[in-house]
Chain A
Amino acid sequence: MNFSFTEEQTLLRDSLASYLSDHYAFEQRRAAIKSAAGWRPQVWKAFAEDLGILGATFPEDVGGLGGGPTEQLVIMEELGKALVVEPYLATVVIAGGFLQRAKPAAAGDLLGRIVAGQATFAFAYAEPQGRYCWHDLATTARKDGAGYVLNGMKAVVVGAPWASHLIVTARTGGARRDQGGVSVFIVDAKAPGVAMREYPTVDGARAAEVSFENVKLGAEALIGPEGAALPLIEAVIDEATAAVCAEACGVLRRLHEGTVDYTKQRKQFGQPISQFQVLQHRMVDMFIAFEQSVSMTYMAHVRLVEAAAERAKAVSAAKVQIGRACRFVGQNAIQLHGGMGMTDEMAIGHYFKRATMIEAQFGNTDHHLARYEGLSFGKAA
Chain B
Amino acid sequence: MDLDFSPEDLKFQAEVRRFLAEAYPAHLREKSERGEAFSKEDILGWQKVLAAKGWAAPSWPVQYGGTSWTPTQKYIWSEEQARADVLSIPPFGLNMLAPVLYTFGSEEQRERFLPDILAGNVWWCQGYSEPGSGSDLASLKTRAERITGDDGKEYYLVNGQKTWTTMAQFADWGFFLVRTDPTAKPQAGISFLLIDMKSPGVTVRPIITLEGGHEVNDVFLDNVKVPVENRVYEENKGWTCAKALLQHERSGIAGVAVSKRQLEKLRGMAATEASDVGGALIDDAFFRRKLAELEIDLTALEFTELRTLAGESSGEGPGPESSILKIKGTEIQQRLTELTLEAAGHYGAPHLLGLPHNAAAIGPVEARGAAGEYFNTRKTSIYGGSNEIQRNIIAKMVLGL
Contact = CB atoms under 8 A, between A and B. Distances in A.
Interface of A: 126, 128-133, 136, 155-156, 158, 177, 197, 199-203, 207, 209, 267-270, 273, 276, 278-279, 327, 331, 334-335, 338-339, 341-345, 349-350, 352-353, 356-357, 360, 363-364, 366-367, 369-370
B371 A202 contact: yes
Given A339-B163, A356-B375, A202 B209 contact: no
Contacts of B374: 356
Which A-B residue pairs are the 8 nearest by beta carbons? A349-B210, A268-B136, A344-B208, A156-B346, A200-B351, A366-B286, A200-B354, A202-B371
B388 interface: yes
Contact of A131 (B275, B382, B388): B275
Contact of B378 (A155, A334, A370): A334
B188 to A, nearest CB: 17
B284 A366 contact: yes
Which of A199, A201, A202, A366 is packed against the most chain B CB atoms within 10 Å?
A202
Given A200-B354, A344-B209, A155 B346 contact: yes
Contact of A360 (B139, B277, B345, B387): B345
Interface residues of B, number: 56
Given A344-B212, A364-B342, A370-B276, A156 B347 contact: yes
A202 B208 contact: no
A123 to B, nearest CB: 12
Contacts of A334: 210, 378, 382
B28 interface: no
B134 interface: yes
A254 to B, nearest CB: 15
A116 B70 CA distance: 75
Interface string B350-375: 11011100000011100000011011
A353 B276 contact: no
Contacts of A352: 210, 375
A353 B210 contact: yes
Contacts of B338: 327
Contact of B355 (A156, A199, A203, A345): A199
A207 B278 CA distance: 26
Contacts of A136: 274, 278
B354 A199 contact: yes
B287 interface: yes
B244 interface: no
B327 to A, nearest CB: 13
A31 to B, nearest CB: 15
Given A202-B371, A331-B378, A278 B351 contact: no
Nearest to A158: B349
B284 A177 contact: no
A279 to B, nearest CB: 7
B38 interface: no
Given A199-B355, A268-B134, A130 B388 contact: no
Nearest to B370: A202
A156 B276 contact: no
Interface string B270-296: 000111111001001011000000000
Contacts of A130: 274
Nearest to B383: A339
B197 to A, nearest CB: 21
Contacts of B255: none
A168 B341 CA distance: 26
B274 A345 contact: no
Nearest to B374: A356
Contacts of A273: 135
B308 interface: no
Nearest to B395: A278
A133 B276 contact: yes
Mostly, the A contact residues are: mixed
B348 A342 contact: no
B378 A360 contact: no
A126 B273 CA distance: 14
Nearest to A350: B210
A342 B135 contact: no
A202 B372 contact: yes
Interface in B14-43: none
Contacts of A267: 132
A367 B276 CA distance: 7
A203 B211 CA distance: 10
A131 B272 CA distance: 12
Contact of B286 (A132, A177, A203, A369): A369
B129 interface: yes
Which of B287, B342, B350, B376 is packed against the most chain A CB atoms within 10 Å?
B350
Contact of A356 (B129, B163, B371, B391): B371
Contacts of A331: 378
A131 B276 contact: yes
A342 B207 CA distance: 10
A338 B134 contact: yes
B386 interface: yes
A378 to B, nearest CB: 15
Given A279-B388, A343-B209, A366 B349 contact: no
Given A131-B273, A199-B362, A366-B286, 18 more contacts: A155-B363, A199-B355, A200-B351, A202-B351, A202-B371, A268-B133, A278-B391, A279-B388, A334-B210, A335-B387, A339-B164, A339-B382, A341-B378, A341-B382, A343-B210, A344-B212, A352-B375, A360-B345
Contacts of A356: 341, 348, 371, 374-375
B208 A343 contact: yes
A197 to B, nearest CB: 7
Contacts of B363: 128, 155-156
B346 A342 contact: no
B134 A370 contact: no
Contacts of A270: 136, 139
10 contacts: A128-B347, A131-B276, A131-B281, A156-B363, A199-B355, A268-B135, A279-B388, A341-B378, A353-B375, A364-B345
A366 B342 contact: yes
A240 to B, nearest CB: 15
B381 interface: yes
A331 B379 CA distance: 10
A269 B392 CA distance: 13
A54 B274 CA distance: 37
Contacts of A202: 211, 348-351, 371-372, 375
